Structure 1
Amino acid sequence: MKQADIDNQVLVAKSGSSIWQDLKNAVMGTEADYTQIGLKKAIFLLAVPMILELVMESTFAVVDIFFVSRLGASAVATVGLTETYLFLLYSIAMGLSMAITATIARRVGEKRGEDAAVAAVQSVFLGILASVPFALGGIFYAKELLGLMGADQWSVNHGYRYTQWMLGGNIVIVLLFVINAIYRGAGDAAIAMRILWISNGLNIILCPLLIFGYGQIPALGIEGAAIATNIGRGVGVLVQVWLLLKGGKHIAVKLSQVRWHLKVMAGIFRTALGGIGQMVIAMTSWIFLMRILAEVGSEAVAGSTIAMRIMMFTMMPAWGMSNAATTLVGQNLGAGNPNRAESAVWKTGFYNMIFLVCVSVVYFFFNRSLMQIFTADENVIKVGAEWLRILSFSYFVYGWWMVSTSAFNGSGDTRTPTLINLVFFWLIQIPLSYVLAIHLNLEQTGVFWAVFVSETSVGIFTLWLFSRGGWKKTQV
């Protein structure tokens, strides 16, 4: 064998060993400085655990709807209508998470670990305060909330307990978002991943047991799905808090820091307002869409709900890569290196586009097969399959929108995406959906095409605005 061949084999072996070592570090966690190591490696180390974290989250959503769909279209519609209110909660939790990730990442990039820990504690306090109104509304007004969304009689009379549990116990949802945002901002993405695996692993085990019963465990129906979620996520939050006090590789909280610090809290809240605003706009847009679909019928709501779960599942790797961009932008701006922050976004956006093009191909050719996994109702299958096919035309643009929005949020500029969402979702998507679906009698098809037009447009515009570079000057 020639020496050149031997050298090539050695290089290949070293490369393979390096990839496996990086994968191990990504899953187990690493003390790497993301402002110094190579960008491709930094993206890999952050994106892998973030992808695995979100894949588990979306796996539960798919498993949950798989079992609930066995209870009928009205049960699925109950989940979908309840989620319209949970989307409001998610918008607040995700808006807080954007500010938290940006703040923690900036402090870590500046090498100010003590300040990062103080910000983490105030973030948890904000999350607790945000959960209270939703808990009160869910516990005392579940039936009224379902009725307001146009729920059928079965949902109001039998499905309301699902709504009570999901909204009443929402604090575990909020804290799961908030504390994992702390870990992601610090660069401890592997910890956030393991929390979601524990939490949603429990959900997946408990969901069928509590819905259908087993042995001495009674069949609780749709209420069982909500109880399983609360138990699983509650355990996840307890583990989060324990690990935060124990200390990760990039952040640790001391008991002496667990106190109110109003100035820091106010700073996070101000940054969070933009994040909350952009998510409220996006999520309330979904509420209006569901309300329009409810006018069409329960099959339209059920088909859209299942399609949405499928989309959540397949998009999680893309969101994971986008979250990696958020952390890299925040930490590198904190380290005084805006050009490296921008380069991280372009690289991540390219990877996102490639992935979502592959997803689009699956949606286009196998949309009915995907829907048939969850339901045998032909009308429900038809609705969901149509939405997946229409969305397949724009997913490659959507990938760039996700990453460029993450860049704005990672820099702390949450105001710009808020204004963008206001125009494209409230002023374009909702009116266009109503006109096409109701006035032109296109029903759910009109809604789906309105979503296609608005979300393709917002993706192109946001990427153009990102390329102008104003986000690099944001102070947090």
Structure 2
Amino acid sequence: MDQTSNKPDAGALRRARILGGPLFRTLLSLGITTIAVLIAQTVVGVLETWYVSFLGTDSLVGVSLVFPISMLMTMMSNGGIGGGVASAVARAIGGGKRREADALVLHAIVVAVALGCLFTILAWCYGPELYAALGGRGPGLAAAVTYSNYVFAGAIPVWIVNLLCAALRGSGNVKIPAITTFAGALVLIPLSPLLIFGVGAVPGLGIAGAGIAVSLYYSIAAVALLVYMARGHAGLVLTRASLNRRFFSDILRVGALSSIGALQLNLMVVLLTAVVGRFGQAALAGYGIASRLDYVLIPLLFGLGTAVLTVVGTCMGAGDIARARRATWLGIAMGAGFTQIIGLVVAIHPPVWLGLFTHDTAAAHFGGLYLRTIAPLYGLVGVSFILSFAAQGIGRPFWTILGGTARLLIAAGGGWLAVNQLGGGMGTLSAFVAAGTVGSALVCAATMVPKRIWTRVEV
């Protein structure tokens, strides 16, 4: 009974800190834990790629082919639909509507199950054709299909975990998502090599073991989160409630548009992967390793971006638009600064990243060419990313989607034409990707400056 009576107090304290605490400290406290644990999760992903590299080039190519699709699911569940969940919860709490925030949890689970089923069915039915279209051939294609089947077998748990964590972050509770992610890192670091290579009586499953490890972790994490939230320990409470079209609409109105942004980014990677495949397997492996660094920026930008979303959403719900704007521009300065430093280091010395995964001269050449062109612009990636999260917090992500559209058209569309119609090489393709990055940042900034976008959206 005492615990139940204290829960509103904890939630009220979090709300008060978001609405009245020092902005820099508030963003840092909300973002730093998420950043730290997602970096740990990224390290696990890097280690998994390293483990798979011992299985040979074919397995490495297989993982590279599946990676854009698995990242699409991760980004849609975390920053796409997950952004819609976090935005709806943040605005409900900012407006003092605690019961509606709790009801949104059940609606998020329903959405998670539906979309998880969809990803599993699509991957199992159409995965082989997709990976072949991306340039997969022979053993590399077989490895991709095997890995994909096991990874997407756990799609429903992935969606449940990510949407529940998004709801908690939207409420200002970063502790439980952090614990969940740290637990995943601690489980997967020993579990992946155990299932990939085998130890003692445990047989090595090869690339299938890597996919099984991921699905096992998310299945366990999903059950643990559901039980924990049903018992009311997380602040937000999973309770029985009548399904309400308005709540689904509020999640999907923001989440569907935000998912288009995630789809655009991953479609760009898929299309670029297909174009790079024309240069051969070495180019495909080199590009796959180099472009993975783009995703390594996500823990930093996602952690800070979700903090911006929470503050902006809560402030918009409470009617404090000026504070929401200040939080956005401060978040941009922080995100762009950190990512630019990373980009400059890698651009100056690409082997600091490429050397972790390959010593193949040809693959390193193609990967280095890409990084020397793209990495110096990572700060602009930060600008676009943080602005997209701020737009989710407002409840109006449409305009920042235009930035992603510009990037897709310039990088993938222009790059494809340059290579296939004009005979351009990897350097030309990288230049178009760089131009798309610049275009995206300019469009996002231009659409978020006008004051008319900073108006309250009712939950």
What TM-score does the superposition give when structure 1 sets the normalisation length? 0.88
The equivalent position to 1:170 in structure 2, one of 133, 155, 158, is 155
SS state at 2:136 partner: coil
**Residue of structure 2 equivalent to 1:365:** 348
**Residue of structure 2 equivalent to 1:426:** 408
Preserved contact between residue 408 and residue 436 of structure 2 (Cα < 8 Å): no
Q: C-alpha distance in 1, partners of 2:265/2:298?
A: 17
- TM-superposed CA distance for 1:249, in Å, is 5.7
Most deviating of 236-245 and 135-144:
135-144
Structure ID, larger Rg? 1
What letter matches 1:429 in structure 2? A
Preserved contact between residue 201 and residue 232 of structure 1 (Cα < 8 Å): no
SS state at 1:144 partner: helix
Q: 1:223-267 deviations in whole A, cap 9, x for unaligned?
A: 11101111122222222222222335642223x33x533332233
Preserved contact between residue 62 and residue 310 of structure 1 (Cα < 8 Å): no
What letter matches 1:83 in structure 2? F
SS state at 2:236 partner: coil
SS state at 1:392 partner: helix
**Residue of structure 2 equivalent to 1:11:** none
Q: C-alpha distance in 1, partners of 2:125/2:260?
A: 26
Q: 1:112-131 maps to which residues of 2 (within 5 A)?
A: 112-131=97-116
**Residue of structure 2 equivalent to 1:261:** 244
Q: 1:84 to 1:313 in 2, by over 3 A?
A: closer
Preserved contact between residue 30 and residue 249 of structure 1 (Cα < 8 Å): no
Q: 1:254-293 deviations in whole A, cap 9, x for unaligned?
A: 3x33x53333223322332211222222221221111111
Number of aligned residues: 445
**Residue of structure 1 equivalent to 2:42:** 58
**Residue of structure 1 equivalent to 2:29:** 45
Preserved contact between residue 73 and residue 299 of structure 1 (Cα < 8 Å): no
Most deviating of 88-97 and 362-371:
88-97
**Residue of structure 1 equivalent to 2:427:** 445
- TM-superposed CA distance for 1:37, in Å, is 1.4
Q: Percent identity?
A: 20
Q: C-alpha distance in 2, partners of 1:141/1:432?
A: 27
Aligned-pair RMSD on alpha carbons? 2.0
**Residue of structure 1 equivalent to 2:7:** none
The equivalent position to 1:407 in structure 2, one of 352, 371, 390, is 390
Q: 1:426 to 1:349 in 2, by over 3 A?
A: closer
Preserved contact between residue 137 and residue 167 of structure 1 (Cα < 8 Å): no
The equivalent position to 2:171 in structure 1, one of 186, 205, 220, is 186
- TM-superposed CA distance for 1:32, in Å, is 5.5
Preserved contact between residue 437 and residue 445 of structure 1 (Cα < 8 Å): no
Q: C-alpha distance in 2, partners of 1:158/1:309?
A: 19
Structure 1: tracts of 5 or more residues without a match: 1-28
**Residue of structure 2 equivalent to 1:211:** 196
**Residue of structure 2 equivalent to 1:324:** 307
Preserved contact between residue 106 and residue 333 of structure 1 (Cα < 8 Å): yes
Structure 2: tracts of 5 or more residues without a match: 1-12
Q: C-alpha distance in 2, partners of 1:368/1:201?
A: 28
Q: 1:291-320 deviations in whole A, cap 9, x for unaligned?
A: 111222222221122223333234422331
The equivalent position to 2:329 in structure 1, one of 336, 339, 346, is 346
What letter matches 2:96 in structure 1? K
Q: 1:367-410 deviations in whole A, cap 9, x for unaligned?
A: 11321111121112222222222122212222222211211111
What TM-score does the superposition give when structure 2 sets the normalisation length? 0.91
- Structure 2 residue 231 is the aligned partner of structure 1 residue 246: yes
- Structure 2 residue 450 is the aligned partner of structure 1 residue 468: yes
Most deviating of 319-328 and 265-274:
265-274
Q: 1:417 to 1:392 in 2, by over 3 A?
A: same
The equivalent position to 1:106 in structure 2, one of 52, 67, 91, is 91
SS state at 1:451 partner: helix
Q: C-alpha distance in 1, partners of 2:296/2:71?
A: 16
- TM-superposed CA distance for 1:153, in Å, is 0.3
Q: 1:300-311 maps to which residues of 2 (within 5 A)?
A: 300-311=283-294
The equivalent position to 1:278 in structure 2, one of 255, 261, 270, is 261
- TM-superposed CA distance for 1:31, in Å, is 7.3
Q: C-alpha distance in 1, partners of 2:16/2:227?
A: 23
Preserved contact between residue 346 and residue 352 of structure 2 (Cα < 8 Å): no
Q: C-alpha distance in 2, partners of 1:133/1:250?
A: 30
Q: C-alpha distance in 2, partners of 1:98/1:91?
A: 10
Q: C-alpha distance in 2, partners of 1:190/1:200?
A: 15
- TM-superposed CA distance for 1:39, in Å, is 1.0
The equivalent position to 2:58 in structure 1, one of 71, 74, 80, is 74
Q: C-alpha distance in 2, partners of 1:88/1:340?
A: 32
Q: C-alpha distance in 1, partners of 2:351/2:227?
A: 44
- TM-superposed CA distance for 1:359, in Å, is 0.8
**Residue of structure 2 equivalent to 1:458:** 440
Preserved contact between residue 106 and residue 330 of structure 1 (Cα < 8 Å): yes
Preserved contact between residue 105 and residue 237 of structure 2 (Cα < 8 Å): no
Most deviating of 463-472 and 243-252:
243-252
Q: C-alpha distance in 1, partners of 2:142/2:300?
A: 38
Q: C-alpha distance in 2, partners of 1:444/1:408?
A: 34
